[in-house]
Structure 1
């Protein structure tokens, strides 16, 4: 549901996300081709007892397909990354355009609806965060569903039980992601709230610096900003710890 709403907001990024998934799938197929050719050669050496000369001859015959598959894999990985970068660029540009159009529609009195600090942070830091989401997460999410099906179709004729087990373990990945996201949502909200509060406080202090100096209240504001900065640092460290734990959980699942 959330991904559907994002696609409706940033339709320009959809073709690039699909292109990134396609190139990732091509890279997977090229990698499978390399492994299949090498397995055939090694299988001939082990089971058929090929001599060293025959093994070298078989490897020489397979050199062209191997080289083509390796080149295709490298090119596909590069193109997938470029397509992901383009999707991220379109998403960031679209979000910043929406924020600007909203502020323009509100007019000079936009501060009564949206604080200046929040508008700046949303269009800068908030939009930048979408780069990882559109450029990396969404393409990998769709590819993670496509890759197991592809492997199952290719392996089911050769090894039915391992292929079925691999396919049955696919739901473990989204389930583990959902478990991690339940904790990440709370920590992320705390991080963003602290970030917005600190930015708003700093902007307010800069705008009213002359008044603070006149009434000699700059020291108290300095202490308040230091305390909020420490709160933001703590929230950032919690977010980084959560991300590290998420990576460890995903590595364990894989």
Structure 2
């Protein structure tokens, strides 16, 4: 089950070659050990055969680990590029789910190839050496895969149920964590905790049922293999006493009989460890990976003369029936400052995200001087952005301002802070600032980026007191001077600084 994985065909060919070598070494090792016990072979030859088998096993494991790592990277990319409705389920699949594919690719799949090769080689050699023993093994050998298939079908159903419960548990838990503030506000955290606990108990029960099946099936396979080997060993011992078979042939049969059953027993044991990975692999291979269209990227035009146009922009988010923005049209002339107003939830911040290139419109397009934004490279170099809730890293105020221009000097940082009316020491940790001070740090960043011809402001005066609002307005006037600007405004204080007001929603 690896047709869609890169390099899978070559991996299977290599496994087949290694399995053929393993079969030859198994036969050679049995012949040499039988010869050693009868005194016709020196000790060094069996040791060399054992060393060769160990080396072959190391080569196979190394190759399997490398292929599994490449395959898991491919599967994670495929999952992340697919459209899944639940972020929680996607997170569970990318982490725990894809990791479960490893035992299938490194353990079960190589063992299945060996199981199809070594027992056949052993049977051929035994048919030549001792027909009676070969017929007994040929009659009893199919019992192991028959029992394995019967148990495996039940195991597959239980594993798929276990994975489904785990995926639902992970998705629900992530959703609960993301909405914890709302749940606590409405006193529903306790109810959700009980639901998560119940789902965890269901998953634990399913896991225990799967483990119970694994242990019982291992017991069945071991019992069948042991009885089958006994059916071979007892007649060989009796015939050796009667003199109807020589010692070297008897030893060869006794050494090869366990090797015929061992690969199938190992495959049955590895199946349970790989069952979850098989379920995940089936799930992932059904995803359709989004293949982006090949586009020829161009540099942004001169924004001192180029317009910014939003043509029929519609944005829909997964899981929502109503679009965040519907069929929005707007043209911003060079040097024009446009204010976007409207009720909360109308899509003003979404429109800024579309112009930033962070959100791709479901319908419509953004044109920069006639060029589609999706085909423009280096667009962010032309922008300076002041978000509604600025993010500050765990560093000094100066380092947070310097994010806008890593080459800025300390004097440049001080000037930007003064222009933004930031009345704190620039050596102070950024995490200690109030919301108003954070807003002015964001403005200082924007002022530091003097080369950007386009300014995007997302409600820079939201949730500020009157005194702080005036300081931010003063800094915003300096920022907007002589630039093309798109401003989201809830309060009327910023409107006099713009040339045109556009209502959204």
Give the TM-score normalised by structure 1: 0.80
Larger RCO of the pair (alpha carbons < 8 Å, separation 6+): 1
- Show CA shifts across 1:80-135 (max 9, x none): 221222232232122112112224xxxxxxxxx53111212222222112111111
Distance across 2 between alignment mates of 1:175 and 1:137 = 17
Give yes or no for contact 1:27–1:74 (8 Å, CA) kept in 2.
Answer: no
Asked if 1:165 is matched to 2:145, the reply is no
TM-superposition CA deviations, 1:200-242 (whole Å, max 9, x none): 2211111111101111111111122112211111111112112
Measured in 2, the distance between the counterparts of 1:70 and 1:24 equals 15
Q: Is the 8 A contact 1:198 1:225 kept in 2?
A: yes
2:207 equivalent to 1:236: yes
User: Which runs of 5 or more structure 2 residues have no equivalent in the other structure?
Assistant: 226-505
> Are the aligned partners of 2:68 and 2:102 in contact in 1 as well (CA < 8 Å)?
yes
Query: Is the Cα–Cα contact under 8 Å of residues 17 and 83 in structure 1 kept in the other structure?
Result: no
In structure 2, the partner of 1:245 is 216
Does the CA contact (< 8 Å) of 1:88 and 1:131 recur in 2?
A: yes
Q: What is the CA–CA distance in structure 1 between the aligned matches of 2:110 and 2:53, rounded to whole Å?
A: 17
* Residue from 68, 72, 81 that aligns with 2:61: 81
In structure 2, the partner of 1:23 is 18
Task: Tell me if structure 2 keeps the 8 A contact 1:24–1:76.
Answer: no
The residue that corresponds to 2:171 in the other structure is 200
TM-score (norm: length of structure 2)? 0.42
Q: By percentage of residues, which structure has more helix? A: 1
Deviation at 1:185, TM superposition (A): 2.1
Alignment partner, residue 383 of structure 2? none
Q: In the TM superposition, what are the counterparts of 1:9-20 in structure 2 within 5 Å?
A: 9-20=4-15
Structure 1: runs of 5 or more not aligned: 1-5, 44-54, 104-112
The two structures, once aligned, show a CA RMSD in angstroms of: 2.0
Q: Which residue of 2 aligns with 1:95?
A: 75
**Distance between the aligned counterparts of 1:141 and 1:213, measured in 2?**
52
C-alpha contact 1:191 1:236 (8 A) present in aligned 2: yes
Q: Whose radius of gyration is greater, 1 or 2?
A: 2
Q: 2:152 aligns with which of 181, 186, 205?
A: 181
Q: Distance in 2 between matches of 1:68 and 1:41?
A: 13
How many residue pairs get aligned? The number is 225
> 2:190 pairs with 219, 223, 241, which one?
219
Q: CA deviation at 1:139?
A: 1.3
Change in 2 beyond 3 A, CA 1:96/1:197: same
Distance of 2:177 and 2:133 partners within structure 1: 63
Contact 1:86 1:135 (C-alpha < 8 Å) held by counterparts: no
